[in-house]
Structure 1
């Protein structure tokens, strides 16, 4: 299920479900849940819990918790039909009760889609879950989860002719629609396939190597998606204000005309072009965002409701514009740190306080970057910063040759890596030496190397793996 499906709805998560997708309200009672929520970076706006819990920058409401016992099991549905709100051991009952309160406040019926409730522990976890914080043994977990199916069917009976219409999403006999059908219903027929979720996002940086040619642009996006990229990235600038009149009038040889201005204007994508990109990426199930170099372009791109934007190293000295974005944008900001130092880092951390994610992207602005200047150790520094500020996401922009530095960046903690790509070479365009040619297998090899590094790095917590066994055993005394 793609997270965008939940974007326009009131989303209620149970336990640490916010690790799978952002939710508006989380409900829990078990102490172990706090570890999972902290690992996710506190993504809910409100927490309803019976525990002592004070997450940074989030609201919490303390409510009573009723344990499920043999003696109290017949009271569960009685409480469900009452006006009292509490956290039940059967958590989805509390979520549905909250949804019923919302329906009454809104004065109209509500439809609830129950996603992720397969009631079958053997089905395993979401691909977005890389660690289970729950302490329960396997048998206990199976008993707890399987028991809930009985209460779910009982609840459907109780909610007949009520303010709520509950639709189970899954592949059970009582399911109303499948996850794929819900995705298509919300995002449209062109929603495309769900791509695997990875802890490290790989960005295919197209720059302007499409040369304003929509057919070439389409081939680059399709090739990037086929190679396994999570996002493609484009650029947007207002040519007339970004460059001086002298620069635009200077001689430049290209098929578009005799001046540099002719060349730069031809490379810029129009509103229709970006609409085409949006539709194609939805069809392919790949994300996209844009490096935005000036305020007019930033305001232009807002019409596409971007959930992430990039501010490249090129404009690190344009602090008026950076201030404007920091004050007017609340979503993810990817900020490349080429040609900057620690003073700039401090300024960024003091300025970008409103965005919900801040991707600090180590970069060197030499093309190509010498190996001695990659400084992947900076990624490790950003990783340490993320421990005290959950909004920070360590990242790396590769202007070096090949995949080695990017793989080392993943080992240092990078959760996003970016690689320039191109579609062959042309006689008239500048040769992009560091870009990987999408007409060859090289970008697929780059993505595969990142995925292998992601697998090898694994988790930071030391634990015994299923593949391990003792060769020697201690003798019993």
Structure 2
């Protein structure tokens, strides 16, 4: 059915990994941090999207509609046989085929290549969706089954809270036993196909435990990591396109990759641009003028409140560039951890002076398109700031190697010796990780890199942004951390790995 394959392929194309998670509601799902799912396609069963936002949710029971109405929709696409309507996501309807006495064989036939229907055993429908994704991508996919414990006595994941299902205990036990039997059948039937299915749990056929899964996807298995001195900033700019679902996926992926902060931009569109600029023709999915485009990219106060709650949940901080006075005041009220003053407004000295006089939190200032005279002005103007991050920056996208001038980071680091409120940093508009690694060696304690979610023809900064649907930003963070390890300490001492090959004989 075309109305099924097309939206599935569109969603799958926004991810670069060959990993798919199918999420159930068993209590073992509580043992899997949200960061594990970030960057991969997630298919949810019934209302499992309450545990983690699913890309695709599949259901046929009417009680799911009540659950989603009360908890809020968190999927991008719903596959259902009900009359469910969504205000925020696409809905594709498919036939629900109840399981008859002899229907098991037909269900397996459909899994291996028949028309898509919504099965009584929703896990089988989810596996069929995964097969469609593998076909669209043209390569085998690894599918992790999370939250399928098949133990009625264990209940559901604590993160779900209230249960909306109305089965009796006996009905639930029989249904779960039946589902497990069909899973075992499916694991056998799918051998040698385009799906490698990995059950996560403690069953005899489980290939991984939840601990194994954490170690597979998270540095240190999600346990406490070493304290790093360099803050890594995932610069989302406006590549969320004002879409909360996209915003959430980007934040989760940045956190999973190891970022310390996610950064955004805020501007008062009506005052920042002229009427002529706003009325100018501009081609984008959001309208026909540049004004339509810019308004769509701005996050509202409610969006920032949502972002703040999400970041607190994930354990990552956020801040934003304030491009004008109105945006600055609003960001101060909204709880931005720091205030960024980008190179774009380096000539707006009256505004910058006002921020210097009133800001009670750290200021991050990029120095693209400025010279030594501007540096002297900044050092004098911001001398009373509680903390001033000076980020060497070149405003070309991408920055040629010969214009990166990472040596300026060393200069800023030297300034910090006499002025402790100064922190040296690097805003990377060059390709890859090399310039940032050199900046760490030169003394940077903050590095900033643009990120995006897949390729879009109309998005800004795509030439330098690292794709969160692939391993690009995760690899970038790993190289920054490697550089930090190699740089080590300025204190010269004997390291544990050292030993003398030729020792001086002890005096007699």
Q: TM-score range by the shorter chain?
A: 0.5 to 0.7
Question: How big is each residue's C-alpha offset from its partner over 1:23-48, in whole Å with a ceiling of 9 and x where there is no partner?
Answer: xxxxxxxxxxxxxxxxxxxxxxxxxx
Alignment of 1:362-381 (within 5 A): 362-381=392-411
Alignment of 1:275-294 (within 5 A): 275-294=305-324
Secondary structure of the 1:221 match is helix
Among residues 292, 312, 315, which one is paired with 2:342 in the alignment? 312
Q: CA deviation at 1:236?
A: 0.3
Q: CA deviation at 1:430?
A: 4.7
2:237 match:
207
Secondary structure of the 1:232 match is strand
Question: How big is each residue's C-alpha offset from its partner over 1:216-273, in whole Å with a ceiling of 9 and x where there is no partner?
Answer: 0100000000000000000000001111111111110112211101100010000010
Alignment of 1:230-309 (within 5 A): 230-309=260-339
Could you tell me how far apart the structure 2 residues matched to 1:239 and 1:440 are? 32
Question: How big is each residue's C-alpha offset from its partner over 1:176-221, in whole Å with a ceiling of 9 and x where there is no partner?
Answer: xxxxxxxxxxxxxxxx997753100000000000111110010000
RMSD over aligned Cα atoms: 1.5
1:195 to 1:283, Cα distance in 2 relative to 1, 3 A: farther
1:185 match:
none
Scaled by the length of structure 1, the TM-score of the pair is 0.59
Is residue 453 from structure 1 mapped to residue 483 from structure 2 by the alignment?
A: yes
Could you tell me how far apart the structure 2 residues matched to 1:292 and 1:467 are? 47
Among residues 352, 360, 372, which one is paired with 1:322 in the alignment? 352
Could you tell me how far apart the structure 2 residues matched to 1:430 and 1:464 are? 49
Q: CA deviation at 1:469?
A: 1.2
1:405 match:
435
Q: Gaps (5+ residues) in structure 1?
A: 1-191
Could you tell me how far apart the structure 2 residues matched to 1:234 and 1:308 are? 11
Q: Gaps (5+ residues) in structure 2?
A: 1-221
1:417 match:
447
Scaled by the length of structure 2, the TM-score of the pair is 0.55
Could you tell me how far apart the structure 2 residues matched to 1:203 and 1:431 are? 15
Could you tell me how far apart the structure 2 residues matched to 1:331 and 1:430 are? 29
Could you tell me how far apart the structure 1 residues matched to 2:412 and 2:345 are? 21
Alignment of 1:1-400 (within 5 A): 197-400=227-430
Question: How big is each residue's C-alpha offset from its partner over 1:447-473, in whole Å with a ceiling of 9 and x where there is no partner?
Answer: 000011111101111111111111111
Could you tell me how far apart the structure 1 residues matched to 2:224 and 2:341 are? 28
- Mapped contact 1:208–1:267 kept (Cα < 8 A): yes
Q: Which has the higher contact order (CA 8 A, sep 6+)?
A: 2
Secondary structure of the 2:493 match is coil
Question: How big is each residue's C-alpha offset from its partner over 1:88-139, in whole Å with a ceiling of 9 and x where there is no partner?
Answer: xxxxxxxxxxxxxxxxxxxxxxxxxxxxxxxxxxxxxxxxxxxxxxxxxxxx
